[in-house]
């Protein structure tokens, strides 16, 4: 798992405001893997896909619930990137569960 230490200032802001900004925490390697995974899902959507086309024919919405259950790159990202550790730190929790 990637390691990232959330600052005390960011933790405080999250506790007080319910949100904080963490810039540049996701590596380019992960961004590239996710980009490829998104393109795969657009071409061949998983079982929880839902999408909408604009009535004027310009633009579309593509969504896929629980994609980590069907795509290994999303599963690895959700389980082994910096995100679980960041969530654990912000929630002041011993563990994080992906539902």
Rounded CA gap, 73 and 96, in Å? 19
pLDDT value of position 35: 96
Q: Does any domain span residue 69? A: yes
Domain assignment present for residue 98? The answer is no
- Cα separation of 90 and 6, whole Å? 8
**Residue 58: helix, strand or coil by DSSP?**
coil
Instruction: Report yes or no on 1 lying in a domain.
Output: no
Q: Which of 66, 98, 67, 93 is nearest to 80 (CA)?
A: 98
Residue 3 lies in a domain: no
Please indicate, yes or no, if residue 59 is contained in any of the structural domains. yes
Answer yes or no: is 99 within a domain.
no
* 6 contacts 22 by C-beta, under 8 angstroms: yes
Query: CA-to-CA distance for 48 and 16, rounded, in angstroms?
Result: 35
Is residue 68 situated within a structural domain? Answer: yes
Convert the pLDDT of each residue in 1-60 to its tens digit.
558 999 999 999 999 999 999 999 999 999 999 999 999 998 988 888 888 888 888 888
Does residue 61 have a pLDDT over 90?
Answer: no
- How many domains is the chain partitioned into structurally? 1
Residue 20 domain-assigned (yes or no): yes
Domain membership of residue 83 as a residue range? 8-91
Quote the pLDDT of residue 2.
58
Q: Using CA atoms, how far apart are residues 24 and 14, in angstroms rounded to an integer?
A: 17
Please give the C-alpha separations between residue 76 and each of 18, 56, 68, in angstroms, as whole numbers. Answer: 26, 37, 8
């Amino acid at each position: 798992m990637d390691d990232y230490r959330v600052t005390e200032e960011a933790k405080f802001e999250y506790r007080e405001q319910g949100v904080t900004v963490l810039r540049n925490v996701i590596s380019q390697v992960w961004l590239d893997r996710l980009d490829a995974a998104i393109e795969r899902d657009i071409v061949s959507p998983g079982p929880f896909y839902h999408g909408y086309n604009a009535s004027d024919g310009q633009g579309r919405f593509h969504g896929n619930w629980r994609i980590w259950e069907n795509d290994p790159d999303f599963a690895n990202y959700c389980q082994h990137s910096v995100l679980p550790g960041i969530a654990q730190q912000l929630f002041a929790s011993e563990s994080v569960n992906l539902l």
